[in-house]
A and B are shown apart, each in its own frame.
Chain A
Amino acid sequence: MTTVESTPRILLVAAGVALVCSLMVSTAVELLRPRQLAYKAIDRTRIIVKAAGLVSAAELLSDRETVSRFQELDVRVVDLTTGRFTDAVDALSYDHRTAAQDPELSTPIEPARDLAGLGRRARYALVYLLADGQSIRRIVVPVHGQGMWSTIYGYIALESDLTTIADVVFFEHGETAGIGDQIESPQWQASWRGKQIYDQTGKPAIAAATAVSGRVAERHRVDAIAGATVTVDGVMNTVRYWFGEDGFGPFLIQWHPAQTQATPVPEE
């Protein structure tokens, strides 16, 4: 038994087991990744279709139906610095998560303005337009920002007035199970519907009603979640950041109904 217990032997067995196990794990991860990514992509599509109001709550869409309804949406790339549509990147392959890490496609955010705790912001973002002839019915924009433990990802859909919330979906996060993950609950997300993002001065005014936030006008007020103050604050800051000057603000303001009566589908 002394040979089994000798130090070189211990190291050898440990290294051998570690090698075999790591091979097993990495092979499994590598083989299964395409399937997982395909699922993620269809799941993302399903969320956008739901936010755009192309599916009712009770309806269960197959993958194929999901994709065909997604076709009804007009996917456009927005240059966040100018607020204009652009063809600089391909809307089909553009991924703003990876772009936010790419020094060529993103810029650092000044810490004082970094409400969403992102560090960097990609220059381009995808938006999804649901057009009705010549006017916009709904517009879905992606948002993401820091919650308590993790980055929260979601989509916000606006009505044609570009300030009333039609729907919100927060679909990916690593918040506390049972507390912070209530941001995923359909009831809470439904409580956003009909709220106004912007106040009269055109500043994002949406806020959660908490003891510290003080009075929030009813039309800008979203219920807080008990025990999840940091998570909800993160969500609110994320939304205010993305609808503010550094986010979609310049893009949304240029065809705001206050400026043109019927919201036209903007020319490229």
Chain B
Amino acid sequence: MSLQRVVLDPLVSNNPITLQVLGVCSALAVTRTLLPALIMSIAVTAVLAFANVSVSLIRHIIPRSIRIIIEVTLIASAVIVVDEVLKAYAPGVSRILSVFVGLIITNCIVLGRTETFAMNNGVGASLLDGVGNGVGYSLVLICVASTRELLGTGSLLGYPVLRLVGDGGSYVPNGLMALPASAFFVIALLIWLVRSWRPAQVEVPEYLSRRLEFQETA
């Protein structure tokens, strides 16, 4: 795979959220407004890049029997560092993100990339893969968070965009968008859009794939 594809593929055609449907929990939790989503995006991208590079560096000396433990240790350390940096330099956002920064450790995207990519590829390619997947994740987060903040509060990054009815405008904020459930709807719509644009991403329904297997064995 060319290096260009390593970094560009995860943006749309192999996006960790819309195609692989990984890391959805955090995408639901931090997308009420745009600013925390942006900070979360940077945090996940940094952790992904660090974890991929460090795992790739020592991939030849990691014993297979403890490889997952090693990967998780490296990921967890990177997450703690990121969390401390946020507490020192963005304490307000760090409070909003609360546990979700710590929960990057359990984000399937990170362990998924170290296990499937960094364990088998060189340092440069792993760095690009980490950044690519981080940006892919970020794109979805930013789309969802902008939609929710704009429709839910009429502003973006706290700056008013749509004039609210209360301020003499005509926009009635959609309270549903402020609730976590709306993130499900927005992500689902996004996945629908992407798969309409790229029909190759549509999966065969499970009951059909089962039937095919059954016919083959019979």
Listed in ascending order, the chain A residues whose CB lies under 8 Å from chain B are 4-5, 9-10, 13-14, 17-18, 21-22, 24-25, 28-29, 32, 35-36, 39, 43, 177
Contact = CB atoms under 8 A, between A and B. Distances in A.
A17 B87 CA distance: 25
A24 B47 CA distance: 14
Interface string B53-86: 0000010111111100110011011001100110
B98 A18 contact: no
A28 B81 contact: yes
A4 B99 CA distance: 37
B99 A177 contact: yes
Given A25-B80, A28-B81, A36 B66 contact: no
Contacts of A29: 80, 84
B61 A4 contact: yes
10 contacts: A9-B63, A10-B63, A13-B70, A14-B66, A17-B58, A24-B77, A35-B89, A36-B87, A39-B87, A177-B99
Contact of A10 (B65, B81, B91): B65
A4 B74 CA distance: 19
Given A4-B64, A29-B84, 9 more contacts: A4-B60, A13-B58, A14-B69, A17-B74, A21-B76, A24-B77, A28-B85, A35-B88, A177-B99
A5 B66 CA distance: 9
Interface residues of B, number: 24
Interface of A is mostly: helix
Contact of B85 (A9, A10, A17, A32): A32
Contacts of A24: 77, 81
A17 B73 contact: yes
B72 to A, nearest CB: 10
Contacts of A43: 91
A25 to B, nearest CB: 5
Contact of B77 (A10, A21, A35, A177): A21
A5 B65 CA distance: 7
Nearest to B81: A28
> B60, B63, B98 — which one has the most chain A CB atoms within 10 A of its CB?
B63
A35 B88 CA distance: 6
A112 to B, nearest CB: 36
A174 to B, nearest CB: 10
A21 B73 contact: yes
B85 A13 contact: no
Nearest to B71: A17
Nearest to B69: A14
A39 B87 CA distance: 9
B67 to A, nearest CB: 10
A43 B73 CA distance: 33
Interface string B149-189: 00000000000000000000000000000000000000000
A13 B61 contact: yes
A14 B61 CA distance: 11
A29 B99 CA distance: 18
Nearest to B87: A36
A25 B81 contact: yes
B99 A14 contact: no
Contacts of B85: 28, 32
Contacts of B76: 21
Nearest to B77: A21
A22 B65 CA distance: 22
Nearest to A9: B63
A28 B87 contact: no
A227 B192 CA distance: 37
Contact of B62 (A13, A25, A32, A39): A13
User: 6 nearest interchain CB pairs?
Assistant: A21-B77, A35-B88, A32-B88, A28-B81, A10-B63, A32-B84
A185 to B, nearest CB: 14
B66 A10 contact: yes
B4 to A, nearest CB: 31
A10 B64 CA distance: 9
Contacts of B98: 177
A195 to B, nearest CB: 27
